[in-house]
Amino acid sequence: MRAARVLLRPVGFAGFGLLTVVLLVAVFGPVLWDGRATVIDTGDLLAGPSGEHWIGTDNLGRDLFFRVLVATRLSITLALAATAIGMVLGVVLGAAPMLTGRRVARFITSAVNVLVAFPGLLLVLFFAVVFGVGARGAALAVGLAGAPAFARLCHTLLSGVSERDYIAAARIAGVSKFRILVRHALPNIAEPLIVNATMAAGGVLLTFSGLSFLGLGVQAPSYDWGKLMQDGLNGIYVHPLAALGPGIAVVLAGLAFNLTGEAFAAAFGIDVIPGVARVRAVRGAAGESAGPAVAAPDPEPGTVLSVDGLRVTIPGARRPIHAVRGVTFAIRDGEAVGVVGESGSGKSVTALAVARLIEEPVRVDANHLVFAGEDLMAADDPASLRKRLGTSLVVVFQDPMTSFNPAHRVGPQLAEVGRFHQGLGRRAAFARAVDRLHAVKLREPERRARQYPFEFSGGMRQRAMIGMGLMGTPRLIIADEPTTALDVTVQRQVLALLGEVRGDTGAALLLISHDVSVVTEVCDRVLVMYAGLIVEELPARDLGTLARHPYTRALVAAVPDMETDLTRPLAVIPGTPVDPSDVPAGCAFAARCPLADDHCRAVEPPLQADAAGNRVACHKAGWPLPADSAEVTV
Amino acid sequence: MSLLSFRGVSVRYGSHTVLKDVSLDVAGGEVVGLVGESGSGKSTLARAAVGLAPVTTGEILLDGRPVPNRGRARPVQMVFQDPYSSLDPRMTVGESIAEAMRERLGKEARRAEIARLLALVHLDASRADDLPVRLSGGQRQRVALARALAARPEVILADEITSALDVSVQGAVLNLVRDMRRELGLSMLFISHNLAVVRYVADHVAVLYAGEIVEYGPTARVLGAPQHDYTRHLLAALPGAVRRTSSGNGRPAPTSALKEQT
Ligand SMILES: Nc1ncnc2c1ncn2[C@@H]1O[C@H](COP(=O)(O)OP(=O)(O)O)[C@@H](O)[C@H]1O
Ligand code: SF4
Ligand SMILES: [Mg+2]
């Protein structure tokens, strides 16, 4: 599946095609053309290009074009052999620290680091001299010289994997170090390792040709591309193609490896959510710098966000995934609206779509999507839209670690918003950043501003993120599970901070959470989502008592609180959420609903509003639930 | 019935002291809740017990002997918070579970044992051949529990095992914890920052603050009549729990019926 994705990219297609050709020539070249490459034509020595000899002949009158083709096998074989040597050695060196004691491990790691810092070419030449002139010596030299880089890569990748809990679990279970390495660690770094090896093969090919060219590599009568270049060098001014021909072959083959590797790297590193831009932190939505560019159908006065018929469709492997299937709601100025629902119900996708943070190939449709008087659906590239939207729409994500750029200090990242959206100078922007960090109650904001995101705790990062949102004057803050990763006390502080910010700026809040109690406490109104639809909307204070949809009631019941009956099992919602690529007909909740009947399974209940403006989508809204539902486990 | 006992345990990283002289007992068949804010050292305490964190001073004993951290017999097992990181994505559920088993079994015996363990955590035996990607978060967490059980542990350390789960699944996992404890007589150190969750599963609660245990006692006492300021602070920080009393407007209390379920 991934391989298919590789081929779909132009780079992947070109690289893969080229590599296939190169490998075919390597395999069949000597079989097909060896005769023509070795036949000596004494009447045509050192000839230039002609119809008969496309890039000329060598000093024995042998056809150079066919010699280049035949040389493919040796050149590629040697390059692959050298890469393999480098990789095997690199993996051994890189993995050794996982098996040895701490001292030895530290020694190996430092040695590798020193070698990596050493100029590669010098290393190659050094080893080439040590191993002696010739193809075998050169392969060893190039391989050995490449080993440190592989070792370091392997070590880095392994360190990443070692942090994962499954390695810890294996250790706790008494699995031996060696087995952990072989069964858990190596398989999980194989992909990046192979991708890097593929790309490295291109470089190795080049180095190897260089060695042969210098006379340290392949020796006559064998010949690879480097050797051919060396032979062609004497006549370079008369017959440049004799040297350039093999040179071009080197470049093409090198490119083939590189492009293929790169395409695979891109395919493997693909974002978890394809199409959802990995935008940092806070991104703007409506017009501060520029006024509203597009006249939008103004819904109701006093409405900051109006969403009508929002649908988000993600192209899936087999079927499209209907993540959001027609969602309509509005948020008034200064209002706090909560969204609850199980994971996968479409909460995050709705938020991302509203903030226009979703890009191709994910499809976003809506009858209208209006924020602060601006039509967000108006055809526009998201980047310029975001710039125009300025800082009036702020998005705070669950894990701020992924939202901050880990490579930059926190202060400058905030300052960037001020410079980009408000045209502040460098100093003014930084001063404002410090001021904002102060506003979100970070102690010692100057010092903090000069630290990196990883030096912050989770709660501090979340504050900094909100601080980033406060660089301008937000009108709407979208917070997606902003406290889920935090513990109670920090959670409380972050929620209080959001409250204060709203008090100060009058911003509205769209708070996404699976924690019903948080939403109840913070929000005015609650939207309950199930299977990409809003199934109920009601005032937050009524959530615990007046909810009418069976799903809402089940959600509320599932949260243990300080009064939960300890003598009974906790309530659970039977069954599993709907697969959004395969939504059943009728009510999507029917399979899990204690009230479901045939009518429910056949006819989708419409979302109907009552006089008070509360909405519910259920044929049996508010019916008492049967007391003796079947025994179930999720 | 085994007793896991932390005796004056300190853990120091460089000059940074994470745990200060912590003493705590987890008696046989008992669930001890460990609460405290993030960074207070909850996970470090658990990790120290299984050799994943270095104990600077003090000792951790199981029935009076140091917890074995070598060899195949590992009577103390741990379950982690993030079910997406705790299963090797390249191993089937069955392989992951089998790896933790103490003794090498024949093919048939192993299959039967895997099925038995999966049944304990209410998963179908056919799940053994699935890769973790095919499982939901709640199902993964069950597999992680099954893997811990495969080592035939005497004590399980559960580190925030429901924090990454949806409320709808959290309830099922908590019910499972209570079942297992009742049926297998397991002792457990149950770490969570969610007081309502700890209240539901734990017999005793220890409150950890900045690396020190500031309060310990029976759950009902600690959460009902807290002695230490920090415990009171934790309780006050609870989101104004939805008061789910059937309000007087004639509607049925929506939860009562669903609570009958399970
Ligand atoms: N990149 C993706 N590929 C496939 N499915 C996706 C992708 N992103 C989101 N989805 C699906 O869209 C649905 C809604 O997801 P999401 O908005 O994240 O739910 P929530 O925020 O309520 O947990 C889910 O079923 C999810 O599996
Ligand atoms: S429409 Fe029917 S199945 Fe759907 S929630 Fe209402 S009662 Fe249950
Ligand atoms: Mg989400």
pLDDT score recorded for residue A628: 46
- pLDDT of B10-19, one tens digit each? 999 888 888 9
- pLDDT of A338-394, one tens digit each? 999 887 888 888 998 888 888 777 889 999 899 888 888 875 666 667 666 667 888
A629, amino acid identity: S
Mutation target among B50, B149, B176, B262 for the A interface, most CBs of A within 10 A: B262
How far does the centroid of ligand 3 lie from the alpha carbon of residue B244, in Å? 26
Q: What is the complex's ipTM, to 2 decimals?
A: 0.81
Q: What is the SS3 assignment for A539?
A: strand
H runs (alpha helix) in A221-371: 225-233, 240-268, 347-354
Domain contains A505: no
What number of other Cβ atoms are within 10 A of residue A179's Cβ? 12
- Mean pLDDT over A574-584 rounds to 84
Interchain CB contact of B103 with A (< 8 Å): no
Domain contains A452: no
The last residue of a domain, from among A234, A253, A268: A268
Do A15 and A255 touch, CB atoms closer than 8 A? yes
Q: How confident is the model at residue A8 (pLDDT cuts 50, 70, 90)?
A: low
Ligand nearest to the CA of A339: 1
Instruction: Give the pairing of strands A476-480 and A508-512.
Output: parallel
Interchain CB contact of B239 with A (< 8 Å): yes
Instruction: Give the pairing of strands A615-616 and A608-609.
Output: antiparallel
Do A356 and A561 touch, CB atoms closer than 8 A? no
Domain contains A417: no
Picking from A587, A588, A590, A594, the residue whose alpha carbon sits closest to that of residue A572 is: A594
| Polymer length of chain B | 262
Query: Which ligand 1 atom lies nearest to the CA of residue A577?
Result: 25
Query: Which ligand 1 atom lies nearest to the CA of residue A272?
Result: 1
Query: Does the pLDDT at position B262 exceed 70?
Result: no
Mutation target among B183, B255, B256 for the A interface, most CBs of A within 10 A: B255
Quick one: tokens of A120? Answer: 């590669």
Q: Name which of A547, A563, A634 is nearest B254 (Cβ-Cβ).
A: A547
pLDDT score recorded for residue A395: 83
Q: How far apart are CA B138 and CA A14, in angstroms?
A: 43
Strand locations in A284-391 (E): 303-314, 321-332, 336-340, 363-365, 368-371, 374-375
Domain contains A555: yes
Domain contains A320: no
Query: Does the pLDDT at position A492 exceed 70?
Result: yes
Query: Cβ–Cβ of A564/B200 closer than 8 Å?
Result: yes
Does the C-beta of A192 come closer than 6 Å to ligand 2?
no
Does the C-beta of A616 come closer than 6 Å to ligand 2?
no
Distant-in-sequence, close-in-space partners of A163: CB < 8 Å, separation ≥ 6: none
- pLDDT of A452-483, one tens digit each? 877 777 778 878 888 888 888 889 999 887 76
Please report, to the nearest 10 degrees, the dihedral formed by the alpha carbons of residues A384, A385, A388, A392 taken in order: -140
Task: Check which CATH number belongs to the domain holding A144 and give it.
Answer: 1.10.3720.10
Q: How far apart are CA B161 and CA B78, in angstroms?
A: 10
Probe target for ligand 2 pocket from A551, A608, A620, A625, with the most ligand atoms within 8 Å of CB: A620
Respond yes or no on whether the N-terminal peptide bond of residue A584 is cis (omega within 30° of 0).
no
What whole-number percentage of chain A has pLDDT above 90? 30
What is the dihedral sign for C-alpha A278, A417, A419, A493? Answer: negative
- pLDDT of B213-244, one tens digit each? 999 999 999 999 999 999 998 888 776 543 33
Q: How far apart are CA A568 and CA A565, in angstroms?
A: 6
Strand locations in A474-552 (E): 476-480, 508-512, 525-530, 533-539
Least confident of A177-186, A419-428, A581-590, B95-104: A419-428
The last residue of a domain, from among A268, A296, A320: A268
Chain B residue with CA closest to A458: the answer is B38
- Environment class of residue A319 by beta-carbon count within 10 Å: exposed (0-12), middle (13-18) or buried (19+)? exposed
Higher model confidence: residue A145 or residue B163?
Answer: A145
Higher model confidence: residue B23 or residue A443?
Answer: B23
Domain contains A454: no
Query: Cβ–Cβ of A168/B80 closer than 8 Å?
Result: yes
Query: Does the pLDDT at position A277 exceed 60?
Result: no
- Mean pLDDT over A171-199 rounds to 88
A518, amino acid identity: V
Burial annotation A375-395 (CB, 10 A radius, 16+ → b, else e)? bbbeebebeebbebbbbbbbb
Give one DSSP letter per residue of B157-185, joined into a string: EEESTTTTS-HHHHHHHHHHHHHHHHHH-
pLDDT score recorded for residue B10: 95
Query: Cβ–Cβ of B193/A487 closer than 8 Å?
Result: yes
Phi/psi at B143 (nearest 5 deg)? -60, -40
Chain B residue with CA closest to A552: the answer is B254
pLDDT score recorded for residue A502: 87
Query: What rounded mean pLDDT belongs to chain B?
Result: 85
pLDDT score recorded for residue A513: 84
How far does the centroid of ligand 3 lie from the alpha carbon of residue A513, in Å? 8
Does the C-beta of A550 come closer than 6 Å to ligand 2?
yes
For residue A457, which residues of chain B lie inside 8 Å, CB to CB? 38-39
Picking from A343, A15, A386, the residue whose alpha carbon sits closest to that of residue A199 is: A15
Picking from B73, B78, B30, B24, the residue whose alpha carbon sits closest to that of residue B50 is: B78
CA atoms within 13 Å, Cβ hemisphere of A33: 19
Least confident of A152-166, A374-388, A563-577: A374-388
Q: How far apart are CA A629 and CA A626, in angstroms?
A: 6
Query: Does the pLDDT at position A62 exceed 90?
Result: no
pLDDT score recorded for residue A578: 86
Do A551 and A365 touch, CB atoms closer than 8 A? no
For residue A547, which residues of chain B lie inside 8 Å, CB to CB? 254
Angle at B62 between CA B56 and CA B65, to 5 degrees: 75
pLDDT score recorded for residue A539: 96
CA-closest residue to ligand 1 atom 12: A323
Q: What kind and span of H or E run contains B133?
A: none
Q: How confident is the model at residue A397 (pLDDT cuts 50, 70, 90)?
A: confident
Quick one: tokens of A604? Answer: 């989708």
Query: What rounded mean pLDDT belongs to chain A?
Result: 83
DSSP label at A102?
A: H
pLDDT score recorded for residue A595: 94
Probe target for ligand 2 pocket from A587, A607, A608, A625, with the most ligand atoms within 8 Å of CB: A587
Domain contains A413: no
How far does the centroid of ligand 3 lie from the alpha carbon of residue A209, in Å? 52
What's the domain count of chain A?
Answer: 2
Does the C-beta of A513 come closer than 6 Å to ligand 1?
no
Q: How far apart are CA A156 and CA A93, in angstroms?
A: 12
What whole-number percentage of chain A has pLDDT above 70? 88
Strand locations in A414-532 (E): 476-480, 508-512, 525-530
- pLDDT of B24-70, one tens digit each? 999 999 999 999 877 788 989 999 999 999 999 999 999 999 998 87
The last residue of a domain, from among A219, A252, A268: A268
Query: Cβ–Cβ of B254/A559 closer than 8 Å?
Result: no
Which residues 10-39 of B have a C-beta within 8 angstroms of A?
A: 37-39
pLDDT score recorded for residue A7: 65
Q: Name which of B38, B238, B255 is nearest A490 (Cβ-Cβ).
A: B38
For residue A566, which residues of chain B lie inside 8 Å, CB to CB? 199-200
Least confident of A157-166, A379-388, A486-495, B137-146: A379-388
Q: How far is CA B55 from CA B8, B189, B214, B219, in A?
A: 10, 18, 20, 28
DSSP label at A616?
A: E
pLDDT score recorded for residue A275: 32
Distant-in-sequence, close-in-space partners of A8: CB < 8 Å, separation ≥ 6: none
Min Cα separation A309/chain B (Å): 27
Q: How confident is the model at residue A434 (pLDDT cuts 50, 70, 90)?
A: very high
Query: Which ligand 2 atom lies nearest to the CA of residue A623?
Result: 7
Does the C-beta of A132 come closer than 6 Å to ligand 1?
no
Query: How far is C-alpha A285 from the geometric centre of its chain's CA atoms?
Result: 23
- pLDDT of A194-251, one tens digit each? 888 888 899 999 999 988 998 888 988 889 999 988 888 877 788 888 888 899 999 9
Domain contains A315: no
A334, amino acid identity: G
Q: What kind and span of H or E run contains B119?
A: helix B107-120
Q: How far apart are CA B256 and CA A634, in angstroms?
A: 19
For residue B194, which residues of chain A lie inside 8 Å, CB to CB? 488
What is the dihedral sign for C-alpha B180, B182, B187, B189? Answer: positive
Residue-number span of the structural domain to which A110 is assigned? 2-268
Picking from B150, B147, B148, B123, the residue whose alpha carbon sits closest to that of residue B135 is: B123
Q: Name which of B38, B73, B195 is nearest A562 (Cβ-Cβ).
A: B195
Interchain CB contact of B77 with A (< 8 Å): yes
Distant-in-sequence, close-in-space partners of B110: CB < 8 Å, separation ≥ 6: B98, B101
- pLDDT of A302-337, one tens digit each? 899 999 999 999 887 778 889 999 999 999 999 999
Higher model confidence: residue B245 or residue B122?
Answer: B122
Interchain CB contact of B167 with A (< 8 Å): yes
Q: How far is CA B211 from CA A298, A428, B60, B205, B244, in A?
A: 56, 41, 16, 15, 36
pLDDT score recorded for residue B111: 94
